[in-house]
Amino acid sequence: MFESFFPDEYIASTYVIPFEKLYEEGYRGVIFDIDNTLVPHGAPADERARKLFARLEEIGFSSCLLSNNQEPRVKMFNREIGTNFIFNAHKPSVKNYGRAMEIMGTDRGTTIFVGDQLFTDVWGAKRAGIHSILVRPIHPKEEIQIVLKRYLERIVLHFYRRQKERNTDKN
């Protein structure tokens, strides 16, 4: 029932994702959410984010920011990063996931999506056929509509973890 919301991977932080390994596996593009995925909600790019995008470029990855935020917020974050971006993306609509892949020159099989929300980020990526990585939110302070969604996410993640445990027990 909840499987359409299950991420392909669930990792503690964007900053511990083994991007070199993913590149070796054939991935060439990474689409990122911004708020609570790369920085706390509303924050500018910090040193950690700048180093990550430099590292991705060095590895050979193309990247694109995909945000439901408006243009001023996305441009402010991207000023220090200098990557591709799509604002007002209407996630979980799949249209702009496809647009991001076009911009990066990748396809479903060579693209990864990294985000912190199940019902927008992960669900949209899954619907678009993209490998999805859910990360824990960076900061607990969030807008009220996101706080409410987090309660529902806990339920889905409970069933996600149970399924992972069952799959591990079978192996």
Average pLDDT over residues 19-33: 98
As to burial, measured by CB atoms within 10 angstroms (0-12 exposed, 13-18 middle, 19+ buried), residue 145 is exposed
39: its two tokens: 């920085």
> pTM for this structure?
0.85
In this model, does residue 171 exceed pLDDT 90?
no
- Reported as a single tens digit per residue, the pLDDT across 137-159 is 887 665 656 666 666 777 677 77
pLDDT of 1 reads 60
Query: 3-class SS at 110?
Result: helix
Higher model confidence: residue 19 or residue 162? 19
In this model, does residue 57 exceed pLDDT 80?
yes
Q: What residues contact residue 21 under an 8 Å CB cut-off, 6+ apart?
A: none
pLDDT of 141 reads 62
Query: Closest Cα to residue 27, out of 152, 145, 95, 125?
Result: 125
Which residues on neighbouring strands pair with residue 66, listed in sequence order? 86
* Domains within the chain, CATH numbers bracketed: 3-170 (3.40.50.1000)
In this model, does residue 86 exceed pLDDT 80?
yes
pLDDT band at 23 (very low <50, low <70, confident <90, very high): very high
pLDDT of 143 reads 61
Q: Rounded to whole angstroms, how far apart are CA atoms 77 and 131?
A: 24
Average pLDDT over residues 128-133: 97
